[in-house]
Amino acid sequence: MSEHHLARFYSGRRVLVTGGLGFIGSNLAHRLVALGGDVLLVDALLPDCGGNWFNIAEVRDRLRVAVADLRDAATMAELVADREVVFNLAGQISHIDSMRDPLSDLEANCRGPLTLLEACRRHNPAARVVYAGTRQVYGCPVSLPVDEQHPTRPTDVNGADKLAGEQYHFVYHHAYGLRVTSLRLTNTYGPRQLLRHNRQGFLPWFIRCALDGAEITLYGDGSQRRDLTYVDDAVDAFLRAGASDAAGGEVFNLGGLEPIALRDLARLIVELAGSGSVRSIPWPDEKRRIDIGSFYADYTKIRRALGWEPRVDIAEGLQRTIAFYRASGEHYR
Amino acid sequence: MSEHHLARFYSGRRVLVTGGLGFIGSNLAHRLVALGGDVLLVDALLPDCGGNWFNIAEVRDRLRVAVADLRDAATMAELVADREVVFNLAGQISHIDSMRDPLSDLEANCRGPLTLLEACRRHNPAARVVYAGTRQVYGCPVSLPVDEQHPTRPTDVNGADKLAGEQYHFVYHHAYGLRVTSLRLTNTYGPRQLLRHNRQGFLPWFIRCALDGAEITLYGDGSQRRDLTYVDDAVDAFLRAGASDAAGGEVFNLGGLEPIALRDLARLIVELAGSGSVRSIPWPDEKRRIDIGSFYADYTKIRRALGWEPRVDIAEGLQRTIAFYRASGEHYR
């Protein structure tokens, strides 16, 4: 699917992005604006979830924003009614917060999507819906790399709720014919991600520590390997899924070019930032219990179906990310 | 695990049964009372969910009942505090209702269990918790019989929520060491099941139609096969899971002696009841879309681990059930 094809599909296309002020949602919004889409964002600006007006400052006059909660059925009915593609990225993504406050995670990641899907079914059953799923639904890998057939046994409440959120999409697909796709994201990184706390994944926190000239703390020897997706690549996958008939009813893994050990990643960030350091400490017990060890995904399915593959390598992606936060970091802390 | 072993384990044992006024919960309560347990039931008496005071009329003075909702965290903290075994059977079980009112299903089947688990973690982390899971988590079988490794792809909101409810139990097992077991029930039938409406599974409705001298309606040719568990056998599985160290952290299928085609089952019910008739009609479209075809479970795992197997055959179980409703049917309509 070429840039030309995407531009033809999205030019003038009425799209909705939930979580549109957040990290991936706002990067997607930038691309959609560039492609000439009729872009409506919805975001509840929930505390600590990454919604940030600065994320869309450059395109603010070329799209519309509704500050609203997916759980508000009446508002969602209005917002989805004329949209042709719904990118459903709203949610709470912190594993840690989901264990501290499981009922809030349930609200954000189960009630939110279910209310949105009900709105689509009742008011816009022809919409295409692309959901931001997560590799967390797999839990501890029983084999690597992990493909879409791998058992789903999440190890934290966030993973269980995101799995339920994904299942709802497919229930609505089978029962009502809604054209849904789930992209199971791995560790996505890049500009416009919240750096304020360390509860939204290790990567933005590593970057913040390095930029601050502080220590990056690794648990154990840092030998567990992970795959990373640069946010532009993740956005490209959303665009392809929204524009393709072949994506309806399908789950696709995203992935990265090469898995990297956390210790090598930490060292690379310190090297590229020119500041910070890396320190190893023993595993805290409560962290070890929900850690999943090495994880990297097999993205063969989406490569074959939609021609997607990651293009930005880790060094390049990190350089762009560090440059972004050097310029605009004060908006993300 | 002999009757003697169960009596020794449950005699004086402090147990809690959530959904204790419902179909399986009340049958379990009867057995626990007979075994000499210190039995506390909790039930919210949610409309249409099967909670019924008549279910425990014979043992009312030998157990305690709290009318309370699992979602009430303060009350649950009180109720779980001194309990050694928690049988977690509360929930909404209607597939049909879950599609009509998905948010109520979410409340009952996600928020309820999550609140209970939080109460256990905070106030009674040594409790054993046995959860009433369901074969619905599997969705359409990709092979038969279905064992516990089969993919979990529920086809309705109720299945998605029950899967999330089960996953929470295992998240709390891995993260906090809670000793949890899930029994994935197939079609359980027997005395004390609600007959008032046809939204809690086909079997009680078939029985009611036959007893009323009415028509049992089959969709299509009724050739799809299902396995049935008589409620006494299901109760036996709960008792074994609660009494066994080997059950901690495990998911087990229940099952039946022989799968039976729905048309044969309907004819058998009519024959045993001596009234009613069977009629086939074409599949309604909205029913066909969420139907899963034939389903029967492989229960080898629980047979090996806990020595459980179904003992009551279909004819015997149906005879007992019909006799029960002939005597007490007015309390269930």
pLDDT tens digits, chain A, 333 residues: what are they?
A: 778 899 999 999 999 999 999 999 999 999 999 999 999 999 999 888 889 999 999 999 999 999 999 999 999 999 999 999 999 999 999 988 999 999 999 999 999 999 999 999 999 999 999 999 999 999 999 999 999 999 999 999 999 999 999 999 999 999 999 999 999 999 999 999 988 887 777 899 999 999 999 999 999 999 999 999 999 999 999 999 999 999 999 999 999 999 999 999 999 999 999 999 999 999 988 777 777 889 999 999 999 999 999 999 999 999 999 999 999 988 888
Contact A155 B171 (CB under 8 A): yes
Tokens of A233: 């690549």
Give the per-residue pLDDT at B114: 98
Q: Are strands B260-261 and B225-226 parallel, antiparallel or unpaired?
A: antiparallel
Contact A163 B161 (CB under 8 A): no
Q: Chain A residues with CB inside 8 Å of B155's CB?
A: 171, 174-175
Q: The pTM is what?
A: 0.95
Q: Which residues pair with A39 in a beta bridge?
A: A15
Instruction: For residue B151, say if its preceding peptide bond is cis, omega within 30 degrees of 0.
Output: no
What is the rounded distance in angstroms from the CA atom of residue A166 to the CA atom of residue B101?
A: 18
Q: How large is the greatest C-alpha to C-alpha distance in chain A, in angstroms?
A: 54
Contact B157 A170 (CB under 8 A): no
Q: How many CB pairs under 8 A join A and B?
A: 88
Contact A155 B149 (CB under 8 A): no
Q: Are strands A38-43 and A64-67 parallel, antiparallel or unpaired?
A: parallel
Alpha helices in chain B (DSSP H): 3-10, 23-34, 73-80, 95-100, 102-106, 112-123, 157-176, 202-211, 231-243, 262-273, 285-290, 300-306, 314-328
Contact B161 A157 (CB under 8 A): no
| CA closest to A71 among chain B residues | B103
Please list, in sequence order, all residues whose beta carbon lies within 8 angstroms of the beta carbon of residue A251, skipping any fewer than 6 positions away: A133, A148, A166, A170, A181, A182, A184
Q: How far is CA A278 from the centre of its chain?
A: 26
State which amino acid sits at residue A123.
Answer: H
Q: Which of A118, A161, A289 sits opposite B164 (nearest CB)?
A: A161
What is the rounded distance in angstroms from the CA atom of residue A201 to the CA atom of residue A175?
A: 35
Give the per-residue pLDDT at B261: 97
What is the rounded distance in angstroms from the CA atom of residue B182 to the CA atom of residue A198?
A: 34
Fold classification of A3-194+229-256+296-312 (topology level): Rossmann fold (3.40.50)
Q: Which of B149, B171, B289 sits opposite A156 (nearest CB)?
A: B171
Contact B164 A164 (CB under 8 A): yes
Q: Chain B residues with CB inside 8 Å of A155's CB?
A: 171, 174-175
- CA nearest neighbour of B22 among B170, B204, B154, B164: B204
Q: Chain B residues with CB inside 8 Å of A106's CB?
A: 106, 110-111, 114
Q: Chain B residues with CB inside 8 Å of A175's CB?
A: 99, 155-156, 286, 289-290
Q: Are strands A225-226 and A260-261 parallel, antiparallel or unpaired?
A: antiparallel
**How far is the alpha carbon of B150 from chain A, nearest alpha carbon, in Å?**
8
Contact B154 A167 (CB under 8 A): yes
What is the rounded distance in angstroms from the CA atom of residue A133 to the CA atom of residue A186?
A: 9
- CA nearest neighbour of A30 among A9, A15, A45: A15
Q: Chain A residues with CB inside 8 Å of B156's CB?
A: 171, 175
**How far is the alpha carbon of A34 from chain B, nearest alpha carbon, in Å?**
37
Half-sphere exposure of B238 (CA within 13 A, CB side): 32
Contact A171 B156 (CB under 8 A): yes
Taking CA A33 as the corner, what is the angle to CA A29 and CA A36, rounded to the nearest 5 degrees? 140
Query: What are the percentages of helix, strand and coil residues in chain B, rounded to 5?
Result: 50, 20, 35
Burial of B221 (0-12, 13-18, 19+ CB in 10 A): exposed
Tokens of B79: 């109720």
Q: Which of B111, B157, B286 sits opposite A106 (nearest CB)?
A: B111
**Superfamily of domain B3-193+230-256+297-311, CATH level 4:** NAD(P)-binding Rossmann-like Domain (3.40.50.720)
Backbone angles phi, psi at B154, to 5 degrees: -60, 150
**How far is the alpha carbon of B291 from chain A, nearest alpha carbon, in Å?**
10
Q: Chain A residues with CB inside 8 Å of B160's CB?
A: 164, 167-168, 171
- CA nearest neighbour of A287 among B305, B54, B174, B18: B174
Taking CA A45 as the corner, what is the angle to CA A42 and CA A50, rounded to the nearest 5 degrees? 105
Q: Chain B residues with CB inside 8 Å of A163's CB?
A: 163-164, 167
- CA nearest neighbour of B92 among B26, B129, B131, B48: B48
Query: What are the percentages of helix, strand and coil residues in chain A, rounded to 5?
Result: 50, 20, 35
pLDDT digits (tens, 9 = 90+) for B41-76: 999 999 888 899 999 999 999 999 999 999 999 999
| DSSP SS3 for A193 | coil
Contact B160 A171 (CB under 8 A): yes
CA B259 → CA A38, B151, B263, B267, B300, distances in Å?
Answer: 54, 21, 12, 15, 15
Interface test with A, best of B110, B149, B166, B250 (most A CBs within 10 A): B110
Half-sphere exposure of B226 (CA within 13 A, CB side): 23
Alpha helices in A35-130 (DSSP H): 73-80, 95-100, 102-106, 112-123
Contact B167 A174 (CB under 8 A): no
Q: Which residues pair with B139 in a beta bridge?
A: B153
Tokens of B127: 């409790």
Q: Which of B106, B151, B290 sits opposite A175 (nearest CB)?
A: B290
- H/E element, A65: strand A64-67
Q: Which of B103, B151, B167 sits opposite A160 (nearest CB)?
A: B167
Instruction: Flag whether pLDDT at B292 surpasses 90.
Output: no
First to last CA, chain A: 37
pLDDT digits (tens, 9 = 90+) for B178-220: 999 999 999 999 999 988 887 777 899 999 999 999 999 999 9
| CA closest to B113 among chain A residues | A103
**How far is the alpha carbon of A95 from chain B, nearest alpha carbon, in Å?**
12
The answer to whether A165 and A110 have CB atoms below 8 angstroms apart is yes
Please state the ipTM of this predicted complex. 0.93
What is the rounded distance in angstroms from the CA atom of residue B125 to the CA atom of residue B180?
A: 11
Which residues of A sit within 8 Å Cβ distance of B?
99, 102-103, 106, 110-111, 114-115, 118, 149, 151-157, 159-161, 163-164, 167-168, 170-171, 174-175, 286, 289-290
pLDDT digits (tens, 9 = 90+) for B308-332: 999 999 999 999 999 999 999 888 8
The answer to whether A92 and A105 have CB atoms below 8 angstroms apart is yes
How many Cβ atoms sit within 10 Å of the Cβ of residue B193?
A: 26
Q: Which residues pair with A129 in a beta bridge?
A: A86, A180
Q: How far is CA A124 from the centre of its chain?
A: 24
CA B315 → CA A134, B247, B325, distances in Å?
Answer: 47, 31, 15
Q: Chain B residues with CB inside 8 Å of A161's CB?
A: 164
Please list, in sequence order, all residues whose beta carbon lies within 8 angstroms of the beta carbon of residue B304, skipping any fewer than 6 positions away: none
Q: Chain A residues with CB inside 8 Å of B159's CB?
A: 167, 171
- CA nearest neighbour of B251 among B310, B292, B297, B295: B297
pLDDT digits (tens, 9 = 90+) for B111-169: 999 999 999 999 999 999 999 999 999 999 999 999 999 999 999 999 999 999 999 99
Which region, left, alpha or beta, applies to residue B166 given φ > 0 means left and ψ of -120 to 50 means alpha? alpha
